[in-house]
Amino acid sequence: MNLTLKVWRQKNAQTAGKFVTYQAEGISPDMSFLEMLDVVNESLILKNDEPIHFDHDCREGICGMCSLYINGHPHGPKRAITTCQLHMRTFHDGQTITIEPWRAAPFPVIKDLAVDRSAFDRIQQAGGYVSVNTGGVPDANEILIPKVIADEAFNSATCIGCGACVAACKNASAMLFVSAKVSQFALLPQGQPERYSRAQSMVAQMDAEGFGNCTNTGACEAECPKEISLTNISRMNNDYLSAKLFREEHAHENNG
Amino acid sequence: MSEFKQTFNSSLGKKLIMALTGLFLCTFIIVHLGGNLLLFSNDNGYGFNLYANFLTHFPPIEVVAYILYVAIIVHALYALILTVKNRRARPVGYAVVNKSPASWSSKNMGLLGSILFFFLVVHMSDFWYKYKFTNDVAFKEYRTDLATNQTTESDYTPVSPTFEHSATVENNVEIVRVKDIHAKVAHSFSNIWYVILYVVAMGALSFHLLHGFQSAFRTLGWVHRKYTPIVEFIGTWLFAVIIPLGFAAMPVVYYFMSLSK
């Protein structure tokens, strides 16, 4: 396969970037998208050009490191896969492929197609944890959890934090990511002690990072490689608003 | 108090305000459509004029009306604030337009809302403002013979400029004098440009509510396996089909009635 690539090249966060056109020649349809970029980079290195910088790690769709906004779709045109799981047979010979980095103010470009997603880490650190007792290993299944609830929590927990939801959202909102991280604990008994403080602190951090607001368009859900559902967002809204408006966060203040 | 401020300044708090004002406006249009169906009763505007007079002179409704105007302004203002914030969240756009499958209406709420806001300015300055604050609207006198229930109407010129409404009974004849907003409506709706504006605005209303009604429930966090399909059904059929069609039928019917005169 021979392809024309329009790739976003940007030296660093400070300098302005631009699209550069490359020819990708002799690409096997069985290559993954990242392998195709490896081949292009190989040829760039041989020409003494700077190779295209892009994020990747496990290359089996579980680490959340790869990104790329390909022809108007985060992780390419196929559903429920990451870029590393996207094969070149999805494209046809002679096609022009435009590759852009995730676009969002809280995700500044590091170089070329790689963006800094540490905003997600800070949101996670703000409340995406549970308190556990140290000591002996507890018995398995000591706490009974209905199967459907466990399944739902595990569905939310499959979020790999890649940021495709932000990239797909017309408002660059991080609600799908944050709500998945809130939901995976809010559904389970182990997550109850911090349930309402978690929703508040993670949303506060999300706002501080400068992500947009949710308009329930559902683009995030459609583009999520792990098919995290929009229901998570409503679940978080419910927890957040009930925490803010109806629950007492603190014990009675000591007036004595 | 600062805790409330913090809540409503958060992204979810602002969306809560959008959802609550939006749902309040949704309940309003049900009432507005219900009342305006009087336009279709063949009584030379008797019912409609009395209804308009009731709306503008019954204190509880006047209070709710001002809450309504505030809700419209807050809804529009917060939409603007949120849009600005959303734009700021993506300073560099994509070269290839996002192809993620999302409904057209959900992606164009701002455009649809702007059409509706423009429509509301025209609509309110033409009817509400002229009715309440000017003497442009003529009066009509309806005489109903209570024995035969026959109503005749005639133009009425008030003696005092502050005259608004009177209802008296003389010799078994009920005399009602009210501002004839019905004639003003009929006059406006005989203009094809008005009719086009109204029909386009109702199209915008349909798409705005197609997304907006169910989205408000999602924002409030009211999502449920059993009830969300009901909310979506109501949002689609009542708010995006029946109500806009009902409203749009008024200028269309009056336009064709004006042609046959």
Instruction: Name the band, by pLDDT with cuts 50, 70 and 90, for residue A251.
Output: low
Q: CA B22, CA B198: separation in Å to the nearest integer?
A: 20
Round the average pLDDT of chain A to a whole number and report it. 94
pTM: 0.93
Nearest CA in chain B to A79: B100
**pLDDT tens figures, B21-72:** 999 999 999 999 999 999 999 888 999 999 999 998 999 999 999 999 999 9
B chain contacts of residue A73, beta-carbon cutoff 8 Å: 98-100
Amino acid A256: pLDDT: 47
The DSSP annotation for B111-142 comes to: HHHHHHHHHHHHHIIIIIHHHHH-S-S-EEEE
pLDDT of B211 over the 80 cut: yes
Amino acid A255: pLDDT: 52
pLDDT of B93 over the 90 cut: yes
CATH topology of domain B2-91+105-137+180-259: 3 helical TM bundles of succinate and fumarate reductases (1.20.1300)
A chain contacts of residue B214, beta-carbon cutoff 8 Å: 216
pLDDT of B247 over the 90 cut: yes
- Cross-chain Cβ contact B90/A204 below 8 Å: no
Contact B20, B74 (CB under 8 A): no
Amino acid A252: pLDDT: 57
B chain contacts of residue A220, beta-carbon cutoff 8 Å: 100
pLDDT of A248 over the 60 cut: yes
Question: What amino acid occupies position A246?
Answer: F
Interior CA angle at B33 toward B201 and B188, to 5°?
A: 55
**Domain map (residue ranges) of chain A:** 3-110, 118-245
* Domain A118-245 = CATH 3.40.190.10: no
In whole angstroms, how far apart are CA B4 and each of A53, A174, A214? 45, 23, 21
Domain A3-110 CATH class label = alpha beta
Q: CA A118, CA A23: separation in Å to the nearest integer?
A: 33
- Cα end-to-end span (Å), chain B: 61
How close B227 comes to chain A (CA, Å)? 13
Q: CA B116, CA B111: separation in Å to the nearest integer?
A: 9
- Cross-chain Cβ contact A69/B106 below 8 Å: no
User: Pairing between strand A18-24 and A3-9?
Assistant: antiparallel
Instruction: Name the band, by pLDDT with cuts 50, 70 and 90, for residue B1.
Output: low
Round the average pLDDT of chain B to a whole number and report it. 93
3-state secondary structure of A198: helix
Contact B46, B153 (CB under 8 A): yes
Interface subset of B 28-47, CB within 8 angstroms of A? none
Asked if the C-beta of A126 comes within 8 angstroms of chain B's C-beta atoms, the answer is no
Closest CA to B132 of B198, B206, B202, B69: B69
Query: Which of A213, A229, A232 best tests the B interface by mutation, with the highest count of B CBs <10 A?
Result: A213
Interface subset of B 39-98, CB within 8 angstroms of A? 82, 85-86, 88-98
ipTM: 0.91
Mean pLDDT for A24-39 is 96
**pLDDT tens figures, A51-102:** 999 999 999 999 999 999 999 999 999 999 999 999 999 999 999 999 999 9
pLDDT of A34 over the 60 cut: yes
* Residue labelled with tokens 């096997």: A28
Question: What amino acid occupies position A142?
Answer: E
A chain contacts of residue B223, beta-carbon cutoff 8 Å: 231, 234-235, 238
Asked if the C-beta of B1 comes within 8 angstroms of chain A's C-beta atoms, the answer is no
Residue intervals of chain B classified under CATH 1.20.1300.10 are: 2-91+105-137+180-259
A chain contacts of residue B14, beta-carbon cutoff 8 Å: 213
Nearest CA in chain A to B96: A72
How close A67 comes to chain B (CA, Å)? 14
**pLDDT tens figures, A163-201:** 999 999 999 999 999 999 999 999 999 999 999 999 999
